[in-house]
Every structure is written in C-alpha cells, then in structure tokens.
Amino acid sequence: MPEVRVWAPNASRVRVTIAEPDGSIEHPVVITDLEPERELGCGSVASGWWRADVAEALPGRDYGFLLDDDEQVLPDPRSRWQPHGVHQPSRFYSDDFAWSDAGWHGHDLPDSVIYELHVGTFTQPGTFDAAIERLDYLAELGVTHVELLPVNDFNGEWNWGYDGVLWYAVHEAYGGPDGLKRLVDACHARGLAVVLDVVYNHLGASGNYLPRFGPYFKTGRSTWGELVNLDGESAGPVREYIIGNALMWLSEFHVDALRLDAVHALHDSSEVHLLAELSTRVKALSAEIGRPLVLIAESDLNDPIMFTDRAEGGYGLDGQWSDDVHHALHGLLSGERQAYYADYGSLAALAKVLTRAFFHDGIYSTFEGHLRGKPVDVKNTPGYRFVVCLQNHDQVGNRAAGDRLPRITSPGMLKVGATLLLTSPFTPLLWMGEEWAASTPWPFFTSHPEPEMAEATATGRVSEFAEHGWNADDVVNPQDPAAFTGAKLRWSERDDPEHAEILTLYRQLLRLRREQPDLAESRLNLVEVDFDEDAQWIVVHRGAFDVLANLADHAQDLPVASGDVLFGTEPGLRTDGRTITLPARSAAITGQIGAAGF
C-alpha cells in the first residue's frame, strides 16, 4: 500500500487530504490522519516524522497536508510535482520515466567547457523541450556541459530561479519533472553532461511553508533571507532534507553535476560542515552508480578549503567558481572600476589570476575593506578546479540594465577576452548567447503575483544598485514582463555578419582548445606570463604555444618564440620568428602549425 510521510515536528496533528483523479482538492476523496513515528530505541520520543499507509495515494492525484486544526492545504515539502504552483496542492508523481542513457558514462571536470543557460529565456517557448531542439548546436559548438539555472519551483511564472521554495519540485512552466528528464536524457544522447544550479542557503519569500512544518531556519539573516538551520536544534533532518535533494537530482534525474549557490551563506558550526558531509555522500553515490558526479561551489571566500580533500581537512568538493578571473578580465576589457572591480583592471592583476587563480589570496580588498582569501597551492591544485568566465548570469544580470559585455566594450576587446578565456588553464564557462555576442539584455526579472511583494522587489532593486553607484533611471523594473520577454535569445541574429564573425571565432578557439592539450593544460605552475603594463600587451606561455594580446589603441610589435600564427582575431597576421605585429585591440596564438593540425 502507498505510504505518505512528512517531517512536521512543529505540528501536534497531521492529516493528508487527497483528491479524486483530475478532481479538486476542495472535494477530497479522503482525509486521513497520519501517525507520529518514534525515535529508534526511544519508544516514547517522537521523531518529528508522521506517516500512514493510504490506498488513495496514487500517481496523478493531487494532495496536501493539514497541520493541527488549520484547514489550509499545504504542499508537500518533498513534492516532486506542483502542477498549479507553489501555493497549491502537490501531485503524487511516479518515477517511471523511460531513460535511454544506459550507455552514458558521465564526464568529470577535467577537459570541460560549460555552457550556462536559463531555461525560460534560452528559447522563445522557454521550456525543456524547446531547449532540446538546440542541443545539436551546442554539441557542434564544442562545449561538454550544459548548466541549467535553478529549475526548482518558485512563485510566479518566470524568475531567475533563486527564489525557489519547493526544492524537490521542478517548475511546471518549464515542463515539470518529466520535461527535465527528457532534457537530461537528450543531453546524454549527444554526449553532453548536465550541471544543475541548486540553492541551499535560503528560500524565496513567497510560498515558503517550511516553518509551518519544522525548524528549518535559525536566528539570523543573510543577504537573501533567514539562515537555514544547519547546526541548531533538530538540524539533522534539515541537513538530510538538503543532502537528500542533492542526491535526488543526481540519481532520479541523472544529473551529472551540481553548482552549489553562494555556499558562503551556509552558516554551519557543526563538527562536520554540511559541504563535507554532502561531498562524502555524493562520492558514495558516484561509486554506487558507476559514473562521476561533480560538486562545484560558488563561494566568495577565496578559500581552498572548498576543494581540499576531506583527509586534509577540506570539504572535498570538485571545484569552485573563481570570480577573480572574471573581474580581472572584465576590468581590463571594459575599464570599469566601480564596486568590486576596484582592485582589478591591470595586466598585473590578470597575470596573477592566470597563474594563481585567486587575486585576493590574503591581500586587502578595497571593496570589502579587509583582508580576503587564502593562497592556492599551485603545484598541487589543477586549474580545472576553477570555473571561470567572461560573462555569466550574475555578472550580466546584476547590472542595472542587464547589459552584456558587447554593450560595454569594443568588438576587438571582446575577441581578446574570448581568446584569453578559452586558452586559460581553468574550466571555461560560456553564458548563453555569448558565443555570438547576443544583443539581448538579461536583467533581473520576477513575476510575483502579490502586489506588495512586487513593489518591494522593485524598490529594493533600485536601492541596491544605488549603493553601487548606478543611476536609478537605468535600473530595469524586474516586475515588468518586458524584462523577461526581452531577455529571450534571438537565435536568428547568429546569421548577421557581426554576430557570425564572433561565433566563428568561438568555434575556432574551442576547436583549438580541444585539439591542442597545451592550450587546456591545467597545471598552474606551468603557466608563465610576460606583460608590459605601460605598453598594454601580454603574452601567456602555454607549452608549445604563445597567446598574445595587444590591448593598446595602436598596433605594436610583441615578442614571440619560434612558430607560426595559428589563430588571430584579425586577418593577415605574420611572425618573423622573433616578433609579431598585432593591430590595436587584437590577439593571436602562435606555435607549430604541424602540432595544431592546420
């Protein structure tokens, strides 16, 4: 008989209400009391879990929980399916998807190139099925991983996804749980691994019913909301709620990797940090199912503890985002120095991150006003552990107008940036449309149906940007539907000459990186950099190749080792074996033509 179970230690009575097939929860077929479970070995101590065997708990039927004497039907905190939104009943879901990826063996982090996308704006329909139609293009482009912004259920129709409140459910507007499985299955059929962005540091403000069930939160707040209870009273089931969710994506949905959002907001004083426990459990699952499972942290701490092995006192994750590489490139290419770009923009900063991954590695941060970070052991830490980018959802979307890099810098500098990124020792990440210099902005957008929340979100956004020096008139109203619809990629512009040129450049660079191991070599201690701050040129030595960039506004000669020009952002480049003349704001790769296969 089907079992219904829920953790609700805050309740003294729990009932489940179940509708008829295709019926309304307002006219349930059954309302049943659940019985409290007892702690093992402590027969009189309630565990906080409630359960019942209910014959009517069948797939396709809507259901919800009634706590104490309240008649409000609440969705299941572990609901897999929310067909009517986060404020409505859940639906029993049958995990009987017909997978076709039995031959998929996964893809570990080394030799990876990640393509980050938001399902709702990647295509005009904004669904998993519509995204499947673009997978052949991504495979041909040369990326290895598709990273999805959060797909857990959130309030409203559209959102970035970081305001999720039902972590186990897949947003229905995207296609629900089966839609996500179709997308993952289709990715694997094309040799593409799937990374899923997950958020465990906070919940959205609307539709968060977890406090009604149990002590999911503790005293204190982060930037985004109440602190999740990772180390307080009854924290064990909360931690298991998070870990169970991560394991669900990796097992039931066949996802290959998780990007853990803003882990610095996970306040955990436990003897074993949540991230360390998570990495241990995921490694066990990986061994059980026989394919690599990857955990990547987003952290602003610049602390190698994230990817240091458990045996050496670390958390044992596989990698982390390195914003320092982005900031060094962005500051140099755009000239911006506001807010957290204050310490960047020099060739010296770029040289440091290319060889040491972190810029702030124990030095003073002007923006934060204190010492920040710890050094990376470059002899023993491979560069692939750092996911780096020119653009991503944060760096574009957290600008007042959501303007992409092509709106901020010149085409020449854009090409220079792509060349430096895709020949770096790190794991490159591309933001959807970046590869053709997409013209569509990607601002912050929400669709809160509650007027007071909509107003608070809009005014809060203006205030936040004002603190960083933005003009209030430039800030896009996140509740304006045009903020969302205008962010959808226009795929037809790939054929326009100025966009096609950039797309060709990205394809060439990705092919070079794939075919020439030296250009993807991740040993940081082998990377050497020469530069002239005054003359504004830089040469990155990558084994048998030199990656050269002239960022000045005039042509100049740069020193090169022997070899030929394998790639240039401008046509007609030649070398005499000692120097190469690079036009203003251009880049080139020199080396042995025979080795490159050209």
- Catalytic-role residue among 185, 261, 303, 318: 261
- From residue 237, alpha-carbon distances to 46, 48, 199, 278, 337 in Å are 13, 9, 17, 14, 45
| Strand bridging mode 62-67 / 90-91 | antiparallel
Cα gap 598→592, rounded to integer Å? 9
DSSP, res 230: S
- Catalytic-role residue among 298, 300, 434, 521: 298
Q: Is 298 a catalytic residue?
A: yes
Calculate helix-pair angle for 347-356, 323-334, nearest 10 degrees: 160
Cα gap 445→161, rounded to integer Å? 10
Q: Is 197 a catalytic residue?
A: no
> Which contacts (CB < 8 Å, 24+ apart) does range 101-105 have?
101/184, 101/185, 101/188, 101/189, 101/254, 104/188, 104/254, 104/291, 105/290, 105/291
3-state SS, residue 293: coil
What residue has token string 């901020």?
A: 408
Q: DSSP readout, 46-91? A: EEEEEEEE-TT--TT-EEEEEETT----B--TT-S--TT-TTS-EE
Cα gap 558→546, rounded to integer Å? 11
What are 388's strand-pairing partners?
428
CB 138 within 8 A of CB 146: yes
Would you name the residues annotated as active-site residues?
Answer: 261, 298
